[in-house]
Structures are given as structure tokens and as C-alpha cells.
Structure 1
Amino acid sequence: MVTIEHDFDATVITLIDEGAAPLAEDVVIRAYEDRVTVEQFDPHFDEVVTVTLTPTMLRDLRAALDLPEGAYRTRLP
């Protein structure tokens, strides 16, 4: 399941694991103008872990999803 909300300064996407147990914690993605954050609660440390991606990193991630194994350098548009 996925939910999408448009806040004042970000679009918030929540991914909810509905598969068979054991289930993973929800993942919250916040897309701001200058960054994207990915958050997930870590029950082992009892805290939310946040990863921040710049627009360039996000572009590279999108490209990497369709590439074979290897090392690549992307070109700036």
C-alpha cells in the first residue's frame, strides 16, 4: 500500500508493507525542492533513520535502476 500527501513544502509518500510476516516498518519519502529524504523506524535502535539525497543523487539512482552491474559516471544535462 502507498499513500501520497501534498504538504506545504513537500510531497510525502508512505510505503506500507502488507506482505506476509515478518513485515518491514513503513518507509516515508519526503520530496522537497532541494532534497529527498527517506525515513524508516529502526526497532533495534528505537529511532528513525533518515537518508538524504540531493537531486543529482536521485537522478543517478533513477538511472542506476536500469543499468547492469558496473561503475558509471553520469553526464550533467
Structure 2
Amino acid sequence: MFTIEHEFDATVITLVDEGADPRDYLQEDITIQSFEDCVVVEQVDDQTENVQRIVFSPAQLRELAAALNLPEGVYRLRQVEKK
């Protein structure tokens, strides 16, 4: 399950781990905040109760999205000029 909320300066997506089986160990919710200049991914560490945070530039996020669908290798994305 996930939610999408549009706030003043960001779009916030929350991913909720529901588990496929009731016996599954569930992970803490993941929150993704998309700003104009960066994307922030946060998750609470259930052992320390500290928030773990990763900040992506827009270019890093595009590369991550592309990498999820590519085989093993080294890649560089090219910008396509709009006409």
C-alpha cells in the first residue's frame, strides 16, 4: 500500500509494508519527499529509532530508475534534446 500527498513545496509518497504473509517480518514505512532540487528517502531504523535519510539529486534518481530495469554493466544516461 502507498499514499501520495501534495504539499506546498513537495510531493510526499509513503510506502507501507503490508507483507504477503501474516508471518512476514514487516519493515518500517518508507517516506519519499520529492522537491524541485532533490528527492529525500527516509525510514526509521526499528532498532535505534533513528531516522535514516538518503538524499538524491534529480540526475541520481533518473539513473536509479533506469538501473532497476537494466542488466549488469556500466552505463551513462544521455540527455535527449527536445525539439
For this structure pair, what is the TM-score category when the shorter chain's length is used for normalisation? Answer: over 0.9
Counterpart position of 2:35: 32
Deviations, residues 5-40 of structure 1 (Å, cap 9, x unaligned)? 001000000000111321000000000000000000
- Where do 5+ consecutive residues of structure 1 fail to align? none
2:59 to 33, 36, 56: 56
Q: Distance in 2 between matches of 1:45 and 1:55?
A: 30
> TM-score with structure 2 length normalisation?
0.86
Aligned residues: 77
Aligned to 2:69: 66
Three-state SS of the structure 2 residue aligned to 1:74 is coil
Encode CA deviations 1:46-69: one digit per residue, 9 max, x unaligned.
201010000000111111111101
- Normalised to the residue count of structure 1, the TM-score between the two structures is 0.92
Question: Which residue in the other structure is 2:78 paired with?
Answer: 75
